[in-house]
């Protein structure tokens, strides 16, 4: 009986999720290039050949490590900024709070390509506002400094942009969470003599845990799959590809070069990694007693 | 993890049971040859498309007047998204044009995908065809078959600032080796200027250096291509080029990320004393800070008086294999790609014609085009004609190699060895 109720959902999921994943796995097992797509060359079954090629490529591991590190920094930054501003928003009056929210929503609403381009303008080596201001306040070494040339400055710049456009989600969610905590609970703790830090650590934080988990996992998935910001701001992966992340690498190595088989195998690897993260997330949720 | 395992097992099981394979769209060649209806034409969009559109409109009206019941629908497609458009067209004949303009470096990949029809007999029977420059026609051939009519060529040469050179009392470089020395001398005297504006992504600016030293990108061995960028000659050329990407002539922090357009842009902005530019850049430079203060010479070769082999870039007009109107399509290509309209396109856009006689007329009438025609006549070279080249290009193998050297991360030997390996892997599959 339960299955009958679930059937419509399962059908939609099978069509929209199952079939594409099936095709992705299927294509990843073949030597599938443009020649094969347009029927001008025979199909060649490779088995796990594409995976072997991918996993034995040193650059893939470098890019994977960079992706993990970059995502970690972005997630930590996003959570830190988002939480701090959410707390700030609960402490200020209505007018500054409205301004804060307007600014955050503006950043949130800016399309990724436009946001990246504007940041590039701001950080342009010769005409950028940032270098102008920095050299104006006495840091003359910053005139003509190229932010996108060095591997770490480029990653830092992109990470800052990613944090800028994704902290509003964290901020809005946590603000709602903090507001939903009943005033009596905090008041009772205060009457019992708990300090502000103690209240934050032992009362507010545990109550916010489920929300924090959700925004963390969401951020991990988003930042792991980052494409636009890296592609636009580092001009397709930086000098000699040293700013590549997994998605840009997949696009450059596989899809732009029409190696759909190899591209599909990268897709499968990414999917498995993200599935693993999600499974861990579900486990943690279950253990913390949340009803799914 | 169980979810994953179950999913994978299910997928593999389904594969094994059904024995399925990814979709293929089947042969795209058409048996029909209709003599009326609509002819679909794809041309590239340009930054300043107006003049091109005007000439094409004239050709379309002339064609429609000569063929009753035929309409020509011209679509302008973006160069940056051409790969997706053409891939889609090759996979689905319904969305494919009958006639298309495309870059000659993309040809081998398109032919391997079965996209374009062999026009060898049509070009041989065409009255204008015999005057096509053989060097340029070679860029329209794959395995000896001709798949397009060269519409125009793009040739690069050395642009330099006459005012800067006069002020410092120096002459334009006479040999390839002189370029680096000249660039350093200028930047030492004028630290605000780049000695020469080149870039780590400017493959076509680098290739003349490689060819002039006697190197090449790849050699054909028993029907397969093998990269030769790690040969001693190629390495010498790459070393000469990357010598320019240093703080004393074109600092990597500014130049390593630049391609051809950005390199010329710095020259246009008046921030560089030299650059490697194309005949197609001339109009843009004439409306910039460098206007009236620059001259062009062929990029010098290894010895004084010689010319470094240039890359024979250019666009072709081809007929798709899936067309239902092959005769009409060929006739339209011969009209738009013929002498009369190439002349008009030259006047409108400055595109160099592909007919030897037209080229000579242009060089005689317009001295400013002479360096480009001289370079063309001195002998041009081309990228390996194999679908593997499209992969090498898309994966950015050569730019990565140049940037590794320019940024100091790797020396020439290491970077070229890695590039050769990647190229071989692209050629092999």
DSSP result, B275-313: EEEEGGGHHHHHTSTTTTSEEEEPPB-SSTT-BPPEE-E
pLDDT at residue A165, as a whole number: 93
Closest partner CB to B24 (pick from A21, A39, A146): A39
Instruction: Supply the Cα-derived Rg of chain A in whole angstroms.
Output: 23
Per residue in A183-224, pLDDT tens? Answer: 898 889 989 988 888 888 888 888 888 888 889 888 998 999
DSSP letter at A111 equals -
d(C-alpha B14, C-alpha B254), whole Å: 53
Contact by Cβ (8 Å): A54, A262: yes
Residue A186 has φ and ψ, to the nearest 5°, of -65, -40
Q: Which of B128, B80, B408 is nearest to B242 (CA)?
A: B408
Q: How far is CA B183 from each of CA A126, B204, B212, B372, rounded to the nearest angstrom?
A: 21, 19, 19, 22
pLDDT range class, residue A253, cuts 50, 70, 90: confident
CA distance B393 to A231: 17
pLDDT value of position B191: 93
Q: What is the pLDDT of residue B9?
A: 54
Q: Tell me whether A243 touches chain B (CB under 8 Å).
A: no
- Is B429 close to A22, i.e. CB distance below 8 A? no
Cβ neighbours of residue B348 closer than 8 Å, sequence gap 6 or more = B51, B52, B54, B55
Residue B320 is predicted with a pLDDT of 93
Q: Is A258 on the interface with B (CB under 8 A)?
A: yes
Nearest CB among B4, B90, B406 relative to A276 is that of: B4
Asked if A35 and B1 come within 8 Å (Cβ–Cβ), the reply is no
Question: Is domain A65-235 annotated with CATH 1.10.10.60?
Answer: no
CA–CA dist A161, A27 (Å, integer):
35
Number of other residues whose CB lies within 10 A of the CB of residue A151: 16
CA dist., res. B265 & res. B245, Å (int): 16
CA distance B93 to chain A (A): 10
Please name the residues between 87 and 126 in chain A that touch chain B, using a CB distance below 8 Å. Answer: 125
Show the CA angle centred on residue B9, arms to residues B7 and B14, nearest 5°: 95
Instruction: Please say whether the beta carbons of A30 and A44 come within 8 A.
Output: yes
Q: Span A149-171, mean pLDDT?
A: 94
Using CB atoms, pick whichever of A43, A45, A125 lies closest to residue B254: A125
Phi then psi for residue A166, to 5 deg, are -115, -10
The CATH-assigned architecture of domain B37-153+312-378 is 3-Layer(aba) Sandwich (3.40)
Helix ranges (H only) for B337-411 are 339-349, 356-365, 370-377, 387-394, 397-406
Handedness of CA B101, B105, B107, B112 (dihedral sign): negative
- Residue contact A34–B22, C-beta within 8 A: no
Average pLDDT taken over every residue of chain A: 89
Largest CA distance in chain B: 79
Closest chain B residue to A42 measured between Cα atoms? B24
Compute the Cα dihedral for A107, A111, A114, A120 and give only its sign. positive
Q: Does B14 touch chain A (CB under 8 A)?
A: yes
Q: Which pLDDT score, from 0 to 100, does residue A1 have?
A: 67
pLDDT at residue A40 tops 80? no
Q: What CATH number is given for B156-311+382-428 in this structure?
A: 3.40.190.10
Q: List the domain boundaries for chain B.
A: 37-153+312-378, 156-311+382-428
Measured CA to CA, the distance from residue B411 to residue B146 in angstroms comes to 40
Task: Find all residues with CB under 8 Å of A231, minimum gap 6, and list them.
Answer: A237, A248, A251
Give Rg (Cα) of chain B: 24
Residues with Cβ within 8 Å of B186's Cβ and at least 6 positions away in sequence, in order, are B164, B168, B170, B193, B195, B273, B274
- What is the reported pLDDT for B1? 46
Task: Report CA-CA distances (Å) from A205 to A106, A240, B69.
Answer: 28, 44, 76
Pairwise CA distance, residues B150 & B152, whole Å: 6
**Which residues on B lie below 8 Å from A148 (Cβ)?**
257
Please judge whether A146 and B21 are an interchain contact, meaning their C-beta atoms are less than 8 angstroms apart. no
Instruction: Transcribe A178-225 into DSSP letters.
Output: HHHS-HHHHHHHHHTT--HHHHIIIIIHHHHHHHHHHHHHHHHHHHHT
Orientation angle between helical segments B232-242 and B412-428, nearest 10 degrees = 120
Q: Quick one: how far is CA B9 from the chain centroid?
A: 46
Are B15 and A25 inside 8 Å of each other by CB? yes
Whether the predicted pLDDT of A288 surpasses 70 = no
Residues in chain B closer than 8 A to A39 (CB atoms): 24-28, 114
d(CA B28, CA A96) in angstroms, rounded, equals 64
Q: ∠ CA B217-B223-B228 to the nearest 5 degrees?
A: 20
Nearest-CA residue of chain B relative to A58?
B418
Residues in chain B predicted with pLDDT less than 70, given as ranges, are 1-20, 26-28, 429
Q: Report angle CA B224, B228, B234 to the nearest 5 degrees.
A: 155
What is the bridge-based pairing of β-strands B274-278 and B156-161? Answer: antiparallel
Separation of alpha carbons B99 and A284, rounded Å: 59
- Say what the pLDDT of residue B17 is: 43
8-state DSSP, B197: B
Q: Are A248 and A236 in contact (CB under 8 A)?
A: yes
- For position B13, what pLDDT does the model report? 53
């Amino acid at each position: 009986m339960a299955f009958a109720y679930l059937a419509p959902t399962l059908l939609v999921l099978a069509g929209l999720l199952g079939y594409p994943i099936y095709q992705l796995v299927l294509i990843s097992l073949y030597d599938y290039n443009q020649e094969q797509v347009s029927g001008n060359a025979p199909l060649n079954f490779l088995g796990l050949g594409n995976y072997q090629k991918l996993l034995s490529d040193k650059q893939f591991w470098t890019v994977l490590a960079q992706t993990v590190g970059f995502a970690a920094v972005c997630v930590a930054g996003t959570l830190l900024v988002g939480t701090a501003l959410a707390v700030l928003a609960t402490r200020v009056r209505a007018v500054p709070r409205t301004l804060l929210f307007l600014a955050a929503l503006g950043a949130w609403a800016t399309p990724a390509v436009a946001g990246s381009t504007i940041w590039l303008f701001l950080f342009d080596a010769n005409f950028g506002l940032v270098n102008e201001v920095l050299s104006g306040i006495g840091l003359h070494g910053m005139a003509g400094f190229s932010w996108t040339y060095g591997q770490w400055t480029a990653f830092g710049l992109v990470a800052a942009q990613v944090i800028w456009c994704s902290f509003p989600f964290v901020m809005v969610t946590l603000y709602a969470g903090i507001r939903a905590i009943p005033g009596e609970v905090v008041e009772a703790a205060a009457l019992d003599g708990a300090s502000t830090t103690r209240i934050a650590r032992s009362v507010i934080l545990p109550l916010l845990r489920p929300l924090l988990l959700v925004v963390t996992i969401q951020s991990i998935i988003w930042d792991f799959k980052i494409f636009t910001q890296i592609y636009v701001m580092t001009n397709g992966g930086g000098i000699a590809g040293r700013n590549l992340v997994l998605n840009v690498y997949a696009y450059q190595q596989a899809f732009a070069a029409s190696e759909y088989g190899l591209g599909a195998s990268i897709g499968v690897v990414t999917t498995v990694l993200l599935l693993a993260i999600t499974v861990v997330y579900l486990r943690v949720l279950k253990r913390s007693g949340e009803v799914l | 993890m169980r979810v994953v395992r179950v999913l994978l097992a299910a997928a593999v099981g389904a594969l094994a049971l059904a024995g399925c394979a990814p979709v293929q769209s089947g042969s795209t060649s058409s048996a029909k040859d209709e003599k009326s209806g609509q002819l679909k034409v794809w041309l590239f969009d340009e930054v300043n498309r107006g003049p091109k559109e005007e000439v094409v409109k004239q050709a379309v009206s002339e064609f429609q007047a000569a063929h009753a019941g035929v309409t020509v629908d011209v679509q302008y497609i973006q160069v940056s998204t051409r790969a997706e458009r053409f891939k889609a067209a090759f996979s689905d004949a319904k969305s494919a044009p009958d006639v298309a303009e495309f870059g000659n470096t993309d040809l081998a990949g398109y032919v391997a995908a079965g996209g374009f029809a062999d026009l060898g007999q049509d070009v041989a029977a065409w009255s204008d065809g015999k005057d096509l420059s053989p060097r340029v026609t070679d860029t329209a051939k794959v395995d000896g078959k001709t798949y397009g009519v060269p519409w125009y060529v793009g040739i690069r040469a050395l642009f330099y600032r006459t005012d800067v050179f006069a002020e410092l009392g120096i002459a334009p470089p006479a040999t390839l080796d002189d370029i680096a020395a000249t660039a350093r001398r200028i930047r030492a005297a004028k630290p605000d200027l780049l000695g020469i504006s080149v870039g780590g992504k400017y493959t076509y600016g680098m290739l003349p250096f490689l060819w002039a030293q006697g190197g090449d990108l790849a050699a054909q061995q028993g029907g397969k291509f093998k990269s030769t960028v790690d040969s001693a000659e190629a390495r010498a050329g790459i070393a000469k080029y990357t010598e320019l990407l240093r703080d004393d002539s074109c600092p990597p922090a500014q130049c390593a990320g630049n391609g051809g357009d950005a390199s010329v842009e710095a020259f246009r902005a008046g921030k560089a004393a030299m650059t490697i530019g194309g005949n197609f850049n001339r109009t843009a430079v004439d409306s910039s800070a460098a206007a009236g203060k620059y001259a062009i010479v062929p990029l010098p070769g290894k010895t004084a008086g010689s010319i470094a082999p240039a890359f024979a870039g250019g666009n072709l007009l081809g007929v798709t294999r899936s067309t239902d109107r092959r005769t009409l399509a060929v006739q339209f290509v011969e009209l738009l790609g013929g002498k009369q309209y190439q002349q008009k396109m030259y006047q409108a856009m400055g595109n160099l014609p592909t007919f030897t006689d037209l080229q000579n007329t242009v060089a005689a009438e317009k001295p400013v085009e002479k360096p480009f025609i001289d370079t063309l006549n001195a002998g041009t070279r081309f990228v390996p004609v194999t679908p593997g080249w499209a992969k090498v290009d898309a994966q950015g193998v050569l730019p990565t190699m140049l940037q590794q050297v320019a940024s100091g991360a790797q020396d020439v030997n290491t970077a070229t060895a890695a590039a050769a390996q990647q190229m071989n892997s692209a050629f092999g599959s």
